Amino acid sequence: MLSCFRNKKYRRKEEGCFLKNGAGMLEQLIHSFYGNCNPIRMYSKEELKKATNDYCWDGMAHRDWNSRLYKGVHEDHGILVKKFEADSSSYMDPLELITNEAAIASNMSKHKNVLKLLGCCLECELPILVYEFPAKGNLSHHIYGDGQSLQWQIRLKIAIEVADAVAYLHYGMPKMIIHRDIKAGHIFLDQDYVAKLSEFRTPVPIPLGKTHVDVEVITGTHRCLPPEYAISGRTSEKSDVHSFGILLCVRRKEMG
């Protein structure tokens, strides 16, 4: 009887998380993209736990400031599972960041150079996002780590593809979106070394008729930030161009 009570209590908690997280995502979609998005799948918590072998440490593909990405297999297909962690030191609401990423990623998923969002799980305290599996891993692994060295032709192709994804973010969306954190760690590669831009938690939209926006919280990787943004919080598409230029310089340096 006690076990039955605990199971019911656990299910009620999952249902509460589902309603809260689902409402947050819907609100973000309406606010940012007038309710438009590409269809995504709903995964259960148990499905993702099984797919990642209970989030095995050996299966971790990448780690960021408050998220971990795990390799997984679901229905005989590779997936990349993004699990978030609450960050008490951050001024930003983690749920707001995740819903922002889901809203933007779902609208960007049709672009061939954006990591495709397959679905999400809303049964946890913080939603879990599920992406396509990038077989060649993260670009930073090839540049800074022990990944396979990339030939010049492949590096040039990656640069062009990332530029195309950023241009789409700026000019192909209902509103201009500024990524604010373009770097090697946010670019993945598929089996054919096709670049996939990712990480859409902190992008900001530029209001219609405006050329820039002033933000209160400055985010991004310090070495990639343009000075005017780092000092004043004013950002525009030029901020992304600056970060992209830093990425090119790093890649050129690594070529020797």
Phi, psi of 237 (to 5 degrees): -65, -20
User: Mind listing the pLDDT tens digit of every residue in the chain (256 residues)?
Assistant: 444 444 544 455 555 564 555 555 555 554 555 545 567 788 999 999 999 999 999 999 988 878 899 999 999 999 999 999 876 556 678 888 888 898 899 888 889 999 999 999 988 889 999 999 999 999 998 888 766 688 889 999 999 999 999 999 999 988 899 999 999 999 999 999 999 999 998 899 998 889 999 998 888 888 888 888 999 999 999 999 999 999 998 754 444 4
**Strand runs (DSSP E) across 133-250, as ranges?**
137-138, 176-178, 187-189, 195-197, 204-206, 213-214, 234-235
- Give residue 88's pLDDT: 55
The ranges assigned to domains in the chain are 2-132, 137-255
- Give residue 237's pLDDT: 94
Own/partner pairs, 184-187, CB within 8 angstroms, 24+ separation: 184/138, 184/139, 184/140, 184/143, 184/144, 184/247, 184/250, 184/251, 185/62, 185/64, 185/138, 185/139, 185/140, 185/221, 187/138, 187/139, 187/140, 187/158, 187/162
- Give residue 217's pLDDT: 85
- Give residue 147's pLDDT: 64
- Give residue 255's pLDDT: 43
Please confirm, yes or no, whether 54 is among the known catalytic residues. no
Full DSSP string of 98-127:
HHHHHHHHHHHTTSTTBPPEEEEE-SSSS-
- Give residue 163's pLDDT: 97
Q: Which residues contact 32 (CB under 8 A, 6 or more apart)?
A: 100, 103, 104, 175, 205
> What's the pTM?
0.83
**137-255: CATH architecture:** Orthogonal Bundle (1.10)
Name the DSSP letter for residue 86: -
- Looking at domain 2-132, its CATH class is alpha beta
- Hey, what are 196's tokens? 């996939």
Choosing from 54, 87, 181, 192, the catalytic residue is: 181
* Contact assessment for residue 187 and residue 195, using Cβ atoms and an 8 Å cutoff: yes
Burial of residue 56 (CB within 10 Å: 0-12, 13-18, 19+) is: exposed
Distance of alpha carbon 154 from alpha carbon 225, whole angstroms = 26
